[in-house]
Amino acid sequence: MKKTTVIVGLGSCGIAAGAGKTFSEFQRIKAADKLDFELKKTSCVGMCFREPLVEIIDESGSYLYGQIDPAKADEIIEKHIKNFSPIPEYIVQSEKFPAADQSFFEGQVKIALRNCGYMDPENIEEYEARNGYAAIRKIANNYIKPDQVIQMVIDSGLRGRGGGGFSTGMKWKFARNYDAPQKYVICNADEGDPGAFMDRSILEGDPHGVLEGMIICGYAIGASEGYIYCRAEYPLAIKRLNIAIEQARQKGYLGKNLFGMEHFNFDIKIKEGAGAFVCGEETALIASIEGRRGMPRRRPPFPAQSGLWKSPTNINNVETFVNIPWIIFTGPQAYAAMGTEKSKGTKVFALTGKIKHGGLVEVPMGITIKDIIYKLGGGIADGKKFKAVQLGGPSGGCVPEYLSHTQVDYDSVNATGAIMGSGGMVVMDETTCVVDIARFFLDFTQKESCGKCTFCRIGTKRMLEILTRITVGEGREGDIELLEELAHSIKDGSLCGLGQTAPNPVLTTLKYFRDEYEAHIRDKKCPALSCKKLLTYKVDQEKCTGCMACTKGCPVDAIEGGKREPHFILQEVCIKCGVCFTKCKFGAIQLS
């Protein structure tokens, strides 16, 4: 009889949702009741809205349970493990019990996420059992030459998944073509886009996959050293990478004369980033590894010619690298068979915001935004109306609802004014104010501008001031035109991607939601009822119970009315701070 296995998802967000406690509970009861089941851990399977997730595999099949706290864990042990009777109410995916959440997995094609949530990331044997290190072995055993490897990557059509979308194979070719005694491979794991966590999940769930991708790259371009530049905000990812590197060294997968290939030496080091968004830019990242301020420099020379310590360097991001072993092992044609004409393969998206089923999804290129949101994501949360989706983070833009039939590929997304970016997809509903979102992103880029280029340093600051003014009801005629002028100057006058794309959130919202800007400026109204200073607060006399919670909270004593009497707000005294709205337990404060 097959032994029952219990697998608990222990990614960062799973732990935040309480998966650690669930795991301990299984551990405790297993020891206390001397139960004979195997307890394992894995990483994020992407179904974030149902964390903590527990998978039970027994001889009858596999059952994925969602939102399992210690109490439910006890129930599962009692019913499922001891008495072989699964609990359908908690099941989110299983062949035996079709669950409503099943749709989240349908339509997904997992290549970059092939191992995330399916194995213990701290165990190299489990990775090897899933064709791990088989791609580099295939290269070694079949004497595939570096140029052939590069040709395979070119044939696959893989484009940089960090946002740039440049052909990965071509990039490798450039780095290979420069002769130098020392070359470097860098993995950009400085995922800084707010609203994106694809790379974190991959690093936490499949660290060996990233290492193997880098080893193959090292072989292809002729590099002997690799760096992973990882955000310090991802402590779990760094921990698992360190474990993975150590295991790979012990097995002889990192070091000298690897996989029986004489003269192929490759080792990997981790560099912890110190917190600067601009370090996602290649030349800034290199400066940071060299121990300097992360400021971009002019290109050319490109890193492929003169990168880290002035040596030829190839930089790709986490998702790009993790695709490589699959492409080499399965063959480039299989990868190229997916997607659209110019965007091949799959892309991972972090689906967040006002969405029912937020999480990590991997879909073939060419799927529409609408399908991602409605079919995989289950639609908008709380029955609200879909307004727009923000793609590409601070460098990207908002795509409005009426363009949600847009295909997800590099060129179609660019045509809307947004960018594919690294894969953040933040869904907004009717209560999200686009002017506020634009202000939010400008606030971010303004803080993160390294200060080298004047337009980026001062221009973003001026744009932020104007946007802030608009959202507090002090917008003036001509503000929109001034924003546009500044936006174009910043795009033209900045050296690196940060400045060149910083105005995108403003430009796209102006393009699709100009009327909302005008409402803010001319009528001093926020159509989404989100900008506090533009709202009028009123007490619904029917709902008010006279509990005085708002009266006590009001900092300017603008609310009148005694105990158990309906209150009212003195509009001329009200400073629109919104405290009464948050204090009221009965929903009696109305916004208009």
Partner 1 sequence: MRVKRIAPEPIAPIAEPSVDLSPMDSLIAKYKGRQGNLIPLLQGTQELFGFIPREAFLKLHHDTGLNLSELYGVATFYAQFRLTPSGKHIIKMCHGTACHVQSVTAITDELLDFLDVKDGETTDDGLFTIETVACLGCCSLAPVMMIDEETHGKLTPKEALKIIKEIRRNEAL
- State the Cα–Cα distance between residues 53 and 43, nearest whole angstrom: 10
Site for partner 1 in 506-545 (CB under 8 A): none
- Per CB under 8 A, the list member of 350, 453, 588, 589 interacting with partner 1 is 350
- CB closer to partner 1, 25 vs 436: 436
In whole angstroms, the minimum distance from the beta carbon of 244 to partner 1 comes to: 19
Measure the CA–CA gap between 254 and 266, rounded to whole angstroms: 6
Distance between CA 474 and CA 469 in Å, rounded? 5
Size of the site for partner 1 (CB under 8 A): 54
Give the whole-angstrom CA distance, residue 543 versus residue 99.
Answer: 39
Distances, alpha carbon 336 to alpha carbons 37, 150, 152, 345, in Å: 42, 15, 10, 6
Q: Could you say whether residue 309 binds partner 1 (CB under 8 A)?
A: yes
- Does residue 422 interact with partner 1 by CB under 8 A? no
With contacts defined by CB under 8 A, name the span among 56-64, 425-433, 467-475, 494-502 that binds partner 1: 425-433
Side-chain half-sphere exposure of 299, counting CA atoms within 13 A: 17
Looking at the Cβ atoms of 332 and 359, the one nearer to partner 1 is 359
Phi, psi of 238 (to 5 degrees): -65, -40
Give CA–CA dist 116/553, Å, rounded: 47
Identify the residue among 208, 344, 354, 452 touching partner 1 (CB under 8 A).
354
Give me the 214-233 binding string for partner 1, x by CB under 8 A, dash otherwise: ------------------xx
Quick check: 391 and 420 in contact, CB under 8 A? yes
Check: CB of residue 445 under 8 Å from CB of residue 437.
Answer: no
Is 258 or 287 the residue whose CB approaches partner 1 more closely? 287
CB of residue 566 vs partner 1: minimum separation in angstroms? Answer: 25
Residues in the chain: 592
Site for partner 1 in 46-85 (CB under 8 A): 48-49, 51
- What is the sign, positive or negative, of the torsion defined by CA atoms of 397, 402, 408, 412? negative
Per rule CB under 8 A, is residue 12 in the interface with partner 1?
Answer: yes
Q: Report the DSSP beta bridge partners of residue 368.
A: 407
> Restricting to residues 381-420, which ones interact with partner 1 according to CB under 8 A?
390, 393
**Does 13 interact with partner 1 (rule: CB under 8 A)?**
yes
Phi, psi of 137 (to 5 degrees): -65, -40
Peptide bond into 300 cis (omega under 30): yes
Among 7, 15, 76, 119, binds partner 1 (CB under 8 A): 15
Judged by CB under 8 A, does residue 200 bind partner 1? Answer: yes
Per CB under 8 A, the list member of 99, 214, 276, 315 interacting with partner 1 is 276
292 lies in the binding site for partner 1 (CB under 8 A): yes
Helix, coil or strand: residue 9: strand
In the complex with partner 1, the residue whose CB is nearer, 74 or 443, is 443
Cβ neighbour number for residue 429 with a 10 Å cutoff:
19
Contacting positions for partner 1 (CB under 8 A): 12-13, 15-17, 48-49, 51, 191-197, 200, 232-235, 271-272, 274-277, 288-294, 309, 350, 352-354, 358-359, 390, 393, 424, 426, 428, 432, 437, 440-441, 444, 448, 450, 578, 582
